[in-house]
Amino acid sequence: MKRLLAAVGMAFLLATSQAWANIIFTFSGAMFNDGGTITGTFTTNDTADSLIDYDILTSGGALLGFHYTPATANSLSSLPFILVLEPASADPILQVTFAGGLTPLGAAIAIGQFDSFEQVGPFKRDIIDGSVAPAPSVPEPGTLLLLGAAMIGAVSLRRRQQRT
């Protein structure tokens, strides 16, 4: 009986603990001083200090814009504070800073307005507004499976106690 109770308790603790997963950040309202915009997402590890993937599009304004992906640009980022993407040609360059640094939890993170920019040759445009926000966390399937097993074990234990 004690073993069953201990097993159910352990399964419940494992099921309710946070499962670590990559974090997807989405740009929101990001604008350049020439009217251009930044849209897209980037993915970091669970502590937001390593860039894993990115799909960011700059468009509009005085510059043509660029589609930054791992196939088109390298990361020179220093997360959680600075995202830097640069193609092999070193033209254009996108630098985005985050006020206070990226965090895996919580609300939107403001983009630094005085040190975030895109530069193509001698032409530079500054980011004047916008933020990034982490996607809501969704429990991993393994976590849900453990939670279900813990619930079944608790119900079974309760029924067994009622019979005796």
Question: How do residues 100-142 score in pLDDT, each as one tens digit?
Answer: 899 887 789 999 988 999 999 999 999 999 999 998 765 556 6
**How long, in residues, is the chain?**
164
Contact of 74 with 64, CB cutoff 8 Å:
no
The model's pTM: 0.73
Tokens of 164: 């005796």
Question: How do residues 13-69 score in pLDDT, each as one tens digit?
Answer: 554 445 568 999 999 999 999 999 999 999 999 999 999 999 999 999 998 899 999
Nearest of 156, 140, 151, 161 to residue 12 by alpha carbon: 151
What pLDDT is stored for residue 57 in this prediction? 98
